[in-house]
């Protein structure tokens, strides 16, 4: 399907204008197919990216470059089911991307 | 929705913040872009009256009114969905935005513009989005 969401990357730049993501841990809620996850992973130290759609999570994983694969942890689940596993670190930024 | 915001606040480190991005409630523009220029064709309409966008606005407002978060920064910005044809835009809408539709008048306008502007014409959804920064309000509890 030849359609491109925000090919200019305006949304990612707006986020980076709000927060310095360098070395930060990010929880993205509603990551979809990784439209913002992938560009933000260039700067953040770690991203947990969740979305209720397993199909979208699979598409995001396929689109993720190998060099960023260790930075991003994808999970197919809604925010209602998400919880921090014991001992895991909290986040510096939580991002709701068109998901409220 | 406001519950999702409140719950997510418990995952933040001290000094952390939440960013919420959502589209404005106003109908987005449908345009055709080509080397010759950018041409307005109509609006994308929604049979739910953009209820999701309205609810996102309300959730942010409620979280602030409840004293859970402080809204510390807001920015409105434009962004685009670019399709190579009206059929591609239709396919994306059917998959990702089921409540949205184009009127017959808008569809005809798009098709006429694409015919006139040729192979380089793009069918563009011109979105206006809001990004809001929410900082947790510290309590002594």
What is the C-alpha separation between B7 and A80, in angstroms, rounded?
8
Tens-digit pLDDT profile for residues B7-35: 999 999 999 999 999 999 889 999 999 99
Q: What is the mean pLDDT of residues B88-109?
A: 94
Nearest CA in chain B to A80: B4
Domain boundaries, chain B: 2-136
**Is residue A5 a part of any domain in this protein?**
no
Q: Residue A71 is part of a domain; what is its CATH number?
A: 3.40.50.150
Smallest Cα distance from B62 to chain A, Å: 13
Q: What percent of chain B has pLDDT over 70?
A: 98
> Does the beta carbon of A5 lie under 8 angstroms from any beta carbon of chain B?
yes
- The whole-number pLDDT of residue A87 equals 83
Are the Cβ atoms of B1 and A100 closer than 8 angstroms? yes
State whether B18 and A4 contact (CB < 8 Å): no
Residue A53, φ and ψ in degrees, nearest 5 = -90, 115
Name the closest residue on chain B to residue A91, using Cα atoms. Answer: B12
Q: Is residue A1's pLDDT more than 80?
A: no
Mutate to test the interface with B, among A11, A49, A94, A97 (most CBs of B within 10 A): A94
Domain, as residue range, for A60: 19-82+89-96
A27–chain B nearest CA distance, Å: 9
- Distance (Å, rounded) from C-alpha A55 to C-alpha A23? 29
**Which pLDDT band, with edges at 50, 70 and 90, does B52 fall under?**
confident
B93, B42 Cβ separation under 8 angstroms: no
Q: Is residue A1 part of a domain?
A: no
Provide mean pLDDT across the span B120-141.
89
| Phi, psi torsion values for A70, nearest 5 degrees | -80, -15
Q: Say if A7 falls within a structural domain.
A: no
Tally of CB atoms within 10 A around B79: 22
Residues of A in contact with B91 (CB under 8 A): 1, 3
Per the domain annotation, does A10 fall within a domain? no
Number of domains in chain A: 1
**Ramachandran quadrant class, A28 (left: phi over 0; alpha: psi -120 to 50; beta: rest):** beta
Kindly provide the residue ranges of all beta strands, DSSP E only, lying in B55-107, ordered along the sequence: 69-83, 100-101
Residue A74 inside a domain? The answer is: yes
The answer to whether position A11 is within a domain reads no
Selecting from A3, A18, A27 the residue whose C-beta is nearest the C-beta of B89 gives: A3
> Closest approach of chain A CAs to the CA of B74, in angstroms?
9
pTM metric for this prediction: 0.91
The whole-number pLDDT of residue B96 equals 87
Q: Does A8 touch chain B (CB under 8 A)?
A: yes
Contact list in B for residue A14 (CB cut-off 8 A) is: 21, 75, 77, 131
């Amino acid at each position: 399907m030849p359609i491109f969401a925000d090919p200019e990357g305006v949304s990612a730049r707006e986020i980076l204008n709000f927060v310095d993501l360098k070395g930060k841990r990010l929880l993205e809620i509603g990551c979809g197919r990784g439209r913002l996850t992938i560009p933000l992973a260039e700067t953040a130290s770690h991203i947990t990216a969740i979305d209720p759609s397993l199909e979208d999570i699979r598409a995001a994983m396929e689109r993720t470059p190998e060099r960023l694969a260790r930075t991003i942890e994808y999970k197919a689940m809604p925010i209602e089911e998400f919880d921090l596993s014991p001992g895991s670190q909290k986040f510096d930024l939580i991002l709701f991307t068109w998901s409220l | 929705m406001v519950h999702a915001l409140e719950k997510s606040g418990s995952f933040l480190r001290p000094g952390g913040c939440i960013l919420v991005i959502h589209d404005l409630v106003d109908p987005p523009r449908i345009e055709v872009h080509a080397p010759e220029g950018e041409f307005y064709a109509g609006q994308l309409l929604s049979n739910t009256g953009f209820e999701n966008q309205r609810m996102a606005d309300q959730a942010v407002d409620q979280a602030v009114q409840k004293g859970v978060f402080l809204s510390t920064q807001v920015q409105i910005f434009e962004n685009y969905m670019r399709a190579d044809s009206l059929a591609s835009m239709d396919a994306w809408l059917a998959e990702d935005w089921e409540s949205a539709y184009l009127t017959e008048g808008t569809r005809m306008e798009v098709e006429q513009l694409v015919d006139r502007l040729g192979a380089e014409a793009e069918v563009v959804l011109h979105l206006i989005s809001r990004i809001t920064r929410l900082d947790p309000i510290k309590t002594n509890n």
